[in-house]
């Protein structure tokens, strides 16, 4: 097995149409879509808008009536369908595992077809089980019926990744799971994708799922075409038309909170110092800063304690162990919604945020979150206004 996973390749759909015999309208109609390498692109839309048909044309489970699909620049019509499918992982709802095969045998299907030797397959199966968070010793010999829905889905993902394909197609993979397992698997997919950088086409009709996991979202409408193709924040703050707006539904502020990561907003820069800092020098800095407190960090800049002027009163030499231990820290990867929950339950108004290697990156308070949401909305209003002005100017110039 190569150490570096094979990263994604771009997929291009060029005027792709699928008309099923006897259908009143085509399932997919002249669809153009550029799916960048290494991104998660979500096909989002109501039932019957052609999401599954689009996806299944990519791995040629369904043949387009017309149009072309290029995978890594190569026209899929020229690739043998079996060969194509070995290079495209496919994950479906309820995993679709073979019940009479063990977990290991299910995962090993494609490597076996590719003629890998037994040892390489066994090593790969264990590696993949680890990757999707299942202990190999416990699960490799188990049968699917003994697994929970979430565990089955993890095995489904491991199976799709078995031969390290550059492309993954995921058709409502978490649709049958309870909300908690579903969230967990979404998080894990994002974590995996950080390392794997596959090109992932993901079908869902769940708006929140799309906003959370998509790098880009293609909002589809019947008959099989794309009405808006943009990044999640843009779809949320400037829906292309009434159809998209209605499909997204109400609650855009709450969705913005879910969509925005703590690391995306401007954090409060509370003064920080190490335990070695001179107590009286720090005291002077805190007085200058005006906030009345600072954060003490260790040598790796990891937050340890809050310190106030009273803790430093009369203290000579280094700060040492003075101050009150912090009761928690927020990760820069958390959504603002999760951060808000923590802030509401925190003992202090400000909570430190940690970035890579748990190093202090800034602080967050309720007021900071509120300002950030207001700023995102104001930016968007301004952008829309500019768009409208440009449109009316163009209309006036028109003969
Ligand atoms: N094999 C088929 N034969 C005839 N019509 C089909 C076939 N497969 C899909 N269709 C029709 O094509 C249209 C698009 O179906 P498709 O399954 O791609 O939609 P979808 O957006 O994935 O819907 P869902 O969310 O319900 O899965 C629908 O009108 C469907 O009835």
- Dihedral angle computed from the Cα positions of residues 383, 385, 387 and 389, in that order, rounded to the nearest 10 degrees: -150
pLDDT at 393: 63
Tell me: the pLDDT tens digits for 112-146? 988 999 999 999 999 999 888 899 999 999 999 99
Q: Is the pLDDT reported for residue 21 higher than 70?
A: yes
Protein residue with least CA distance to atom 12, ligand 1: 27
Q: Name the residue at shortest CA distance from atom 18 of ligand 1.
A: 50
How many alpha carbons fall within 13 Å on the CB side of residue 67? 23
238-272 pLDDT, tens digit each = 888 889 988 887 667 778 888 888 998 999 999 99
Q: Give CA separation, 136 vs 65, 86, 145, in Å.
A: 44, 24, 17
Query: How far is it, in rounded angstroms, from Cα 40 to Cα 155?
Result: 20
pLDDT tens column, 75-96? 999 999 988 988 899 998 876 8
- Identify the weakest region by mean pLDDT among 212-226, 265-279, 384-398: 384-398
- How many other β-carbons are positioned within 10 Å of the β-carbon of residue 362? 22
Query: Is pLDDT of 1 > 60?
Result: no
Is the CB of residue 81 below 6 angstroms from any atom belonging to ligand 1? no
Contact 244, 227 (CB under 8 A): yes
Distance 21 CA to ligand 1 centre (A): 12
Task: State pLDDT tens for residues 323-346.
Answer: 999 989 999 989 999 999 999 999
CB of 283 sitting under 6 A from ligand 1? no
Distance 95 CA to ligand 1 centre (A): 20
Q: Is 134 exposed, middle or buried (0-12, 13-18, 19+ CB in 10 A)?
A: buried
Q: What is the residue-averaged pLDDT of the chain?
A: 89
Q: Return the domain boundaries, the chain.
A: 11-253, 264-370
Which pLDDT band holds residue 6 (cuts at 50, 70, 90)?
confident
Indicate whether 385 pLDDT > 90.
Answer: no
Q: What is the CA 255 to chain-centroid distance, rounded?
A: 14
Four-point Cα dihedral 330, 332, 337, 341, nearest 10: 0
Question: Which residues contact residue 212 at a Cβ distance below 8 angstroms, ignoring those fewer than 6 apart?
Answer: 186, 232, 258, 259
- What is the pLDDT, as a whole number, of residue 2? 47
User: Chain-centre distance of CA 59, in angstroms?
Assistant: 23
Q: Of 325, 329, 337, 336, whose CA–CA distance to 359 is shortest?
A: 329
User: Is residue 175 lining ligand 1, measured as CB closer than 6 Å?
Assistant: no
CA 64–ligand 1 middle distance (angstroms): 14
Closest CA to 106 of 60, 55, 161: 161
pLDDT confidence tier of residue 170, bands split at 50, 70 and 90: very high
List the CATH code of the domain at 11-253. 3.40.50.300
Ligand 1 center to 69 CA (angstroms): 19
H runs (alpha helix) in 224-335: 232-237, 242-248, 252-259, 279-289, 309-312
Other beta carbons less than 10 A from residue 140's beta carbon: 18
Residue 222's pLDDT band (boundaries 50, 70, 90)? very high
Q: How deeply is 177 buried, as exposed, middle or buried, from its count of CB atoms within 10 A (0-12, 13-18, 19+)?
A: buried
Contacts of 370 (CB under 8 A, 6+ apart): none
Residue 291 contacts residue 272 (beta carbons within 8 Å): no
Task: Identify the helix (H) or strand (E) that includes residue 41.
Answer: strand 40-44
Q: Locate 165 and state its tokens.
A: 């394909």
Of the residues 28, 50, 62, 175, which should be mutated to test ligand 1's pocket, given the most ligand atoms within 8 Å of the CB? 50
- Pick from 24, 53, 206 the residue to mutate for probing ligand 1's pocket: most ligand atoms within 8 Å of its CB: 53
Q: Is the ipTM of this complex over 0.90?
A: yes
Choosing from 17, 18, 43, 52 the residue with most ligand 1 atoms within 8 A of its CB, the one to mutate for a pocket test is: 52
State the fold for domain 264-370: CBS-domain (3.10.580)
The CA distance from 72 to 165, in Å, is 12
The pLDDT score that the predictor gives to residue 56 is 95
Instruction: Compute the average pLDDT of residues 4-31.
Output: 93
Distance 227 CA to ligand 1 centre (A): 18
Q: What are phi and psi of 354, to 5 degrees?
A: -115, 145
CB 51 near ligand 1, within 6 Å: yes
Residue whose structure tokens are 């299907």: 109
Name the percent of the chain lying above pLDDT 70.
94
What distance in Å separates the CA atoms of residue 276 and residue 299, rounded to the nearest whole number? 9
Query: How many other C-beta atoms can be found within 10 angstroms of the C-beta atom of residue 27?
Result: 22
**Statement: residue 29 has pLDDT above 50:** yes
Arithmetic mean of pLDDT, 21-30: 93
Q: Which DSSP state fits 248?
A: H
- pTM (two decimals): 0.75
pLDDT by residue (tens digit) across 195-219? 889 999 999 989 989 998 999 999 9
């Amino acid at each position: 097995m190569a150490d570096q996973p094979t990263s994604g390749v771009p997929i291009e759909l060029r005027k792709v149409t699928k008309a099923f015999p006897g259908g009143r309208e085509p399932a997919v109609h002249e669809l153009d879509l550029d799916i960048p390498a290494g991104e998660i692109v979500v096909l989002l839309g109501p039932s019957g808008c052609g999401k599954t048909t689009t996806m299944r044309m990519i791995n040629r489970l369904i043949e387009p009536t017309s149009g072309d699909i290029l995978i890594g620049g190569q026209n899929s019509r020229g690739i043998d369908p079996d060969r194509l499918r070995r290079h495209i992982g496919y994950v479906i709802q309820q995993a679709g595992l073979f019940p009479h095969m063990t977990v290991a045998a299910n995962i090993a299907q494609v490597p076996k077809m590719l003629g890998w030797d037994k040892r390489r397959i066994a090593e790969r199966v264990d590696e993949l089980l680890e990757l999707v968070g299942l202990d190999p010793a416990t699960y490799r010999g188990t049968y699917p019926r003994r697994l929970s829905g979430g565990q089955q889905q993890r095995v489904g993902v491991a199976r799709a990744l078995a031969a390290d394909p550059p492309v993954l197609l995921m058709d409502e993979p978490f649709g049958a799971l309870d909300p908690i397992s579903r969230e967990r698997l979404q998080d894990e997919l994002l974590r995996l994708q950080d390392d794997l950088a596959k090109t992932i086409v993901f079908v869902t009709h769940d708006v929140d799922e799309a906003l959370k996991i998509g790098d880009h979202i293609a909002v589809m409408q019947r008959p099989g075409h794309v009405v808006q193709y943009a990044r999640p924040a843009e779809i949320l703050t400037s829906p292309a038309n009434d159809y998209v707006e209605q499909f997204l539904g109400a609650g855009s502020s709450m969705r913005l909170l879910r969509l925005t990561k703590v690391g995306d907003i401007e954090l409060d820069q509370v003064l920080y110092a190490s335990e070695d800092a001179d107590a009286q020098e720090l005291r002077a800095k805190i007085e200058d800063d005006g906030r009345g407190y600072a954060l003490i960090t260790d040598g790796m800049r990891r937050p340890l304690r809050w310190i106030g002027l009273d803790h430093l009163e009369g203290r000579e030499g280094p700060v040492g162990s003075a101050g009150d231990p912090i009761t928690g820290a927020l990760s820069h990867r958390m959504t603002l919604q999760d951060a808000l929950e923590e802030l509401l339950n925190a003992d202090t108004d400000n909570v430190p945020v940690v970035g890579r290697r748990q190093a202090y990156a800034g602080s967050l308070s309720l007021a900071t979150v509120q300002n950030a949401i207001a700023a995102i909305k104001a930016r968007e209003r301004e952008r829309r206004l500019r768009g409208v002005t440009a449109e009316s100017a163009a209309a006036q110039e028109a003969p």
